[in-house]
């Protein structure tokens, strides 16, 4: 096993995880700095690992170490990050939220999508005021018709809410 390359690969993954977690905590344009930090870090790592691999090619690519060296080199690339992130990605994600004032109330809507981009659910809430500033999401009441879809776009279930209470639940297919 190649100790040097193992340490670099583990460090590469840990630093990328740290960058990712830190970028999640930043709001707005401040997170945009990572558009430069990630590629710069990846390029510096690739150059460093490339130079080390070239200098140590006889040892690292010997029959005993060839497979572990190739695996560790892959772990030192963005391919490993993309692979790990695709495995950890949730099945569906929030794609949009809107707040629409109408007749003295606010209608909040959310659309959730599967990874494929297909809509998975649409949800609605209401707030009994037209001014939504200063209100927490917990103060909105479930309202209207929520529609759940399968990955093909067919309707799975329809739920009807009135004043935060489930009034009707209709299963369309199982």
Task: Specify whether 9 is located in the same domain as 78.
Answer: yes
Residue 162 pLDDT > 90: yes
pLDDT band for position 53 (50/70/90)? very high
Q: How far is CA 63 from the centre of its chain?
A: 39
Instruction: Determine what percent of the chain is predicted with pLDDT higher than 90.
Output: 55
Q: At CA 125, angle to CA 124 and CA 128, rounded to 5?
A: 145
- Among residues 66, 88, 110, which one ends one of the domains? 88
- Among residues 59, 88, 117, which one ends one of the domains? 88
Task: Specify whether 156 is located in the same domain as 81.
Answer: no
Residue 38 pLDDT > 80: yes
CA distance 67 to 64: 8
- Among residues 37, 72, 88, which one ends one of the domains? 88
Task: Specify whether 82 is located in the same domain as 134.
Answer: no
Task: Specify whether 75 is located in the same domain as 107.
Answer: no
| Structural domain count, the chain | 2
pLDDT of residue 23: 79
Could you tell me which of 138, 125, 131 has the C-alpha nearest to residue 165?
125
pLDDT of residue 91: 82
Residue 84 pLDDT > 80: no
Task: Specify whether 98 is located in the same domain as 138.
Answer: yes
pLDDT of residue 174: 62
The stretch 66-92 carries a mean pLDDT of 85
pLDDT of residue 164: 92
Task: Specify whether 10 is located in the same domain as 70.
Answer: yes
Residue 167 pLDDT > 90: yes
With b for 16 or more beta-carbon neighbours within 10 A and e for fewer, the 61-78 pattern comes to: eeeebeeebeebbebbbb
**How many other CB atoms sit within 10 Å of the CB of residue 39?**
11
Q: Tens of pLDDT along 112-125?
A: 999 888 999 999 99
Could you tell me which of 44, 35, 34, 69 has the C-alpha nearest to residue 54?
69
pLDDT of residue 34: 80
Compare 119 and 131 and report the one with higher pLDDT.
Answer: 119
Task: Specify whether 110 is located in the same domain as 81.
Answer: no
The stretch 60-77 carries a mean pLDDT of 92
Cβ burial, residue 60 (10 Å; 0-12/13-18/19+): buried
The stretch 127-152 carries a mean pLDDT of 86
Task: Specify whether 29 is located in the same domain as 79.
Answer: yes
Task: Specify whether 71 is located in the same domain as 39.
Answer: yes
Q: Which domain holds residue 131?
A: 92-171
């Amino acid at each position: 096993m190649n100790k040097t390359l193992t340490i670099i690969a583990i460090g590469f993954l840990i630093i990328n995880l740290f960058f990712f977690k830190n970028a999640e905590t930043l709001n707005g344009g401040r997170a945009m700095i990572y558009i430069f930090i990630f590629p710069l870090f990846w390029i510096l790592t690739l150059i460093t690992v490339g130079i080390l691999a070239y200098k140590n090619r006889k040892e690292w690519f010997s029959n005993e170490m060839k497979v572990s060296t190739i695996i560790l080199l892959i772990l030192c690339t963005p391919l490993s990050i993309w692979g790990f992130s695709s495995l950890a990605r949730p099945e569906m994600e929030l794609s949009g939220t809107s707040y629409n004032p109408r007749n003295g109330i606010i209608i909040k809507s959310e659309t959730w999508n599967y990874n494929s981009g297909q809509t998975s659910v649409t949800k609605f809430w209401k707030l009994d005021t037209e001014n939504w500033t200063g209100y927490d999401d917990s103060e909105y009441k479930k309202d209207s018709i929520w529609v759940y879809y399968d990955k093909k776009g067919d309707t799975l279930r329809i739920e009807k809410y009135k004043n935060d209470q489930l009034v009707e639940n209709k299963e369309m297919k199982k």
